[in-house]
Structure 1
């Protein structure tokens, strides 16, 4: 009878999807495979050490370097700009704007070669010069025709230099660089401010092909003026979406789900609250874990060395194998320990996992075995009835 049962079960298709790798080709490496237990660090969150895991607060501070740059800032003319040149007491050399013409329509257009034409003196090179330098040049050359000319030069339209604000702002697009210095904060405000889904902690500023990360959270929320920048022509400011600002809450909670970290951040207690708390009937309150990957890409790293070279350097320096993750454990058997969770800030791609109580795991095993045991008993009883049938 047992042989018949085994044969019957073996011939039945198992429910659900299945993927077997035993009969497939598996790649091999020469490296010694280590247990994941050896590559993970575990930290207990306790009142005595919770402060060591708290992220450093951003302090408000001034930016003397930016202040100095703003003080010495001067706009330099480029192709496409329109200049207004006025020669006092010589109206014949000054083109009047008139009642129906704006200054930009009647001014001197800077040509693609960086020059303008002016009566008597001809072609004047203006590209890359300030209005003061252009005024001095024109006055010096006009002195051959006019005694002590009084020259004034101003820019009627700024069209040669632009910066670009893209991503999660309310009015993305280009912004002109003018004679008024344009800072990062000014550009964001001119773009209508941040959109609802903006990730203001990881704003990218690209200048001459080099990208740097700027935190608008530190600038706008904490008053860290060192995060502000004086924008230059061609700069690209990109405010990304907060799609990467997510954490995963799984295990024995009432509503497992993916959560997004908002602009104010998210603590462990906030994450547990957002999913309805732990399942009081099945969760192990001593096993609230935060699993955090230790692999981080270095910002601005352009040169990447081969794995073999990195391994050789680690062996020479005696550096231990890098851990792949850190696990932070919080025991909330006493509910007052949740206050510790308010001090533990979650980071993007953290995994919050609540384990099941031992009795819960045992009950689940029993629930899986019961259908098989019941079916086996029914088959056995049926076989006995057939055997004893007269």
Structure 2
């Protein structure tokens, strides 16, 4: 009688365990309940995503040290170079025998320091009724090191390139910087290569070379023409690459071939009215001195400039390293999104610097979710609003096409991404908790 009573009590206890488990007293499954605690469930659609993205948020900016380029300061370089002396007017020398410089075709014009390039871009602007194309032109001066510094692109080497080659170089730089390479490039001003004309001319001048050939007669015309009254001993002397050439002025005027002597960058032309070379020698020596002075001044300026750039690079490198160390120690304020439920890696996703992150970024960068345990019909983005109200945008990914919405809804700080479990997963977990109890209870009954 006592044994029968004990069996009845054990059976009653086992029944109570099953009832408690069936009521959820043993296993509690998290879920999103509309209306409970001020939660509003909103199906995720293109329209609701648009409304969700209207929530104001400005991504944290990456430190300025990571967006700065170390570029020369033109004003600083100018101060370092200083003002070079002017060629001015020189005394007047004289001719001897006829010696003609070789006719050399330098080929296409190649860009050099002090040249000015004009960059024309075609950005698209929204006028409200459609896209309109509006040109934007900017000029850039080629620096002493042969580079141009373009914002958002960086420094590009263009020295000794033809215009077509420079355009191709800029195209590659634009593509590397992920900027729309829709632009045109042209020469705005020519300053890199010049021919100096002095002596018995109306107005001594420095003539810049362009892609068009510069002939002797045109250079003299640019200087106002020859101002020599007596042609008996007058001559035109040309100094090129350490060699002196000369043409009697009378022969120059009588011979079209002499008038079409092609001049090259760095040539010095002197109209001499005497026989002695002393005054011509003084003029050419002055040109050499000017060139050397300019070269030395530029070398000194570049040395100062390079030292300044090295210091800037070191400063930027230190700032970047310090920031990265702080980032590694979690000493930098960041914004987070939290992942819970049937995600592959519950935890937090750090919102990036300088841009928005989407649900797809936060979910799939952390491994996504398991299709075996997670319910694709119940993927939620929970966001707290004013007054403690919570909006839960529900993504039904049973139709895989709806996953596109996950790439469109932007995350906000403290959003919670939650994925509910499959119904079969819930039952499986209940069974996993019940079976050990059944085994323990059965073992106890068998022992008695």
Task: Give the TM interval when normalised to the shorter protein.
Answer: 0.3 to 0.5
Larger helix share, 1 or 2: 2
Q: Which has the higher contact order (CA 8 A, sep 6+)?
A: 2
TM-score, scaled relative to structure 2: 0.34
- Greater C-alpha radius of gyration: 2
